[in-house]
Structure 1
Amino acid sequence: MLVGAIEAGGTKFVCAVSDEQLEIKERVSIPTTTPEETMKAVFAFFDQYELSAIGIGSFGPIDVNPQSETYGYITSTPKVAWQNYPFLLKVKERYNIPVGWTTDVNAAAYGEIKKGAARGKSSCIYITVGTGIGGGVVIDNHVIHGYGHPELGHILVRRHPEDEYAGTCPFHGDCLEGLAAGPAIEKRFGLKGQELDESHTAWDIEAYYLAQAMMNYTLVLSPEMIVLGGGVMKQAQLFPLIYKHYEQLMNGYVATPKLESYIVPCGLKDNAGITGCLLLALDEWHKTN
């Protein structure tokens, strides 16, 4: 049996085909341009295979409410060409097979709890910090959806005492994403994060915002582990700074595991999302067989 996966990102679509043991047979990267161009290439890739199911983890916001008229759509994305695009419907029209549908970060969270850093846990949060900030939540080994899906990157945070930057988020200005995503670092200091020295004040400011987010996620959801991925989190010096600010902010209010084993780097690296999508595809196949 073969299953397919689509990790749909704002910059590229990663598509893969694997067997039931998650051994990948082929994997491609397709630029995210227009829906017509991108999906033509996606379909050309999957048309080569006889698939039993597909799992999709998409950039968003997306509609995950099965009762909604726009279920399966990409909705109010800043990528104008993809606004109100019926992603799930187009895939189902092409392939009459079960299709799993969630956000890219939910898929990554699912990958991490099944095969990555949170393996063996029953709950985790996955946060990606890169061009934007997004988060996925798994509770009792189930990806969390409600009326919509979690948007953990757009929570409000206290401003760092030394930070006067207005924020990059087009919707909220100085929400977490607006203050701590990669573009905010670059616009605040005039250099990309990877060009800044490890001792630069940027990292303390960044850690202050991320620690507030980790505290809020702990207080609201009490996950067994928080996994951090994305390009910004490849700066390893951030983790000790996050632990420092987290301890100061939490001030002993609730107990957590030792922070080094509670707020951790992504175990699957750049494969978390595609792994989660493959697992979602297998889940969908098992639901109907």
Structure 2
Amino acid sequence: MQKKLVGVDIGGTTVKFALINVDGSVEKKWHIKTDTSQHGERMPYQIVKSMTENTDMYGDEVIGIGVGVPGQISADGKSVVRAVNLGWHNVPLKVVIESEFNKPVVLVNDANAAALGEMWQGAAKGKSNLIFVILGTGVGGGIIVDGKVLNGVHSSGGEIGHIPVNTTEQRVCGCGNVNCLETFSSATGVIKTTKKLLDEAGVDRGHFDTKDVFRWLAQGDSIAEQAISLTVKYLGQAIAGIMNTVDAEGVVVGGGLSEAGDPLLEPLRKSIDKYIFPQIKNRYFVRKAALGNDAGILGDVYPLLKVIGAKSADSLSVSY
């Protein structure tokens, strides 16, 4: 009888679940709609109900539950301090779930979970020092050093998207600061940069998205080339700064923007090389994330391996 873990990935639209064997293979998936009404107060109990309905038949085979949350986790690992998109503030999620199932529960920030998932089963499998960057509507990330997530005193470690950019342009970030990295190097940032360059050139191309920008890039369009050049310049500077600080084995890039593949990753490599410490240059990797939507849910359960003493984790030390 192979032991199993339950991964729960809470998003703004859906809550995804997976029944995962301790070797990392996914046995079953399902999902429910995210209910953010009344500040999401019913959601913990809806999660418990869905797990009960879908895992009850496995009984003692299920030995732990990992939950990924789009927000900050308290220092003691018991509560969600804040998850804006869910309407949560100081929600004792670990306590609620553990009291129902009497099994170990871990809470993990969603970006950190994706980083752990890519390290365990994805693009950085076999590595233990990693910078994971998520390029979506914003810029998220996770930093792993010696197999442990760099979480920080205030649960804000790995907030790569809020590294400041040195520029005369003024872009206000959702966090309230000005010129955070995500205002330039996210998908939103790429669109904003491209629109600015088009306006300066007196060109109107109507509505477009990042796929259009990369399509124009492939066609040799000078405005697209300038937009992507600026995007990877700032991203490369930020990543090189982290690399020079933690000396990771490599960089994994995920999120919707990463689907552009080499047209994004190749200039990004060159940008990082321009700013990286000479001792590290040519001795690290830059790879596209491999797990897609499964990264987070696998990373949700990864810390449980050490908690429960699974044989596949005998040599691992994990902090979340």
Give 1 or 2: higher helix fraction.
2
For 1:266, the aligned partner's letter is A
Match of 1:180 in 2: 185
Matched, 1:157 2:165: yes
1:114-125 residue pairs with structure 2 within 5 A?
114-125=120-131
Give the distance between the partners of 2:31 and 2:307, measured in 1 at CA: 24
Q: Which moved more, 1:20-29 or 1:34-43?
A: 34-43
Unaligned residue ranges in structure 2 (runs of 5+): 196-206, 218-223, 311-320
Give the distance between the partners of 2:98 and 2:141, measured in 1 at CA: 26
Question: Are the equivalent residues in 2 in contact too, given 1:55–1:278 (CA < 8 A)?
Answer: yes
Unaligned residue ranges in structure 1 (runs of 5+): none
Give the distance between the partners of 2:178 and 2:82, measured in 1 at CA: 17
Q: CA deviation at 1:40?
A: 4.1
Tell me the alpha carbon deviations over residues 111-157 of structure 1, each in whole angstroms, 9 at most, x when there is no partner: 22222221222211211111222211222222233313312221112
Match of 1:283 among 292, 300, 306: 306
Give the distance between the partners of 2:274 and 2:303, measured in 1 at CA: 38
Q: Which moved more, 1:17-26 or 1:76-85?
A: 76-85
Residue 266 to residue 80, structure 1, CA distance change in 2 (3 Å): closer
Tell me the alpha carbon deviations over residues 198-226 of structure 1, each in whole angstroms, 9 at most, x when there is no partner: 41132222211211121111011111111
Match of 1:62 among 53, 58, 73: 73
Tell me the alpha carbon deviations over residues 149-182 of structure 1, each in whole angstroms, 9 at most, x when there is no partner: 31222111223x7xx3614423213111232222
Matched, 1:192 2:218: no
Q: Which moved more, 1:34-43 or 1:261-270?
A: 34-43
Matched, 1:221 2:246: yes
Residue 28 to residue 132, structure 1, CA distance change in 2 (3 Å): farther
Q: CA deviation at 1:257?
A: 5.5
Give the distance between the partners of 1:267 and 1:43, measured in 2 at CA: 30
Query: What TM-score do the two structures reach when normalised by structure 1?
Result: 0.85
Which protein shows a greater Rg? Answer: 2
Give the distance between the partners of 1:257 and 1:4, measured in 2 at CA: 40
Tell me the SS of whatever aligns to 1:56: strand
Query: What TM-score do the two structures reach when normalised by structure 2?
Result: 0.77
Q: What is the aligned-residue identity percentage?
A: 25
Residue 86 to residue 186, structure 1, CA distance change in 2 (3 Å): farther
1:1-289 residue pairs with structure 2 within 5 A?
1-34=3-36, 35-48=40-53, 49=55, 50=59, 51-63=62-74, 65-66=75-76, 71-79=77-85, 81-149=87-155, 150=157, 151-159=159-167, 164=169, 166-188=171-193, 189=195, 191-198=208-215, 199=217, 200=224, 201-236=226-261, 237-250=263-276, 253-256=277-280, 258=282, 262-286=285-309
Residue 113 to residue 80, structure 1, CA distance change in 2 (3 Å): closer
Question: Are the equivalent residues in 2 in contact too, given 1:61–1:74 (CA < 8 A)?
Answer: yes
* Number of aligned positions between the proteins: 276
Give the distance between the partners of 2:139 and 2:32, measured in 1 at CA: 22
Give the distance between the partners of 1:232 and 1:31, measured in 2 at CA: 25
Give the distance between the partners of 1:88 and 1:102, measured in 2 at CA: 10
Question: Are the equivalent residues in 2 in contact too, given 1:172–1:178 (CA < 8 A)?
Answer: no
Give the distance between the partners of 2:208 and 2:243, measured in 1 at CA: 32
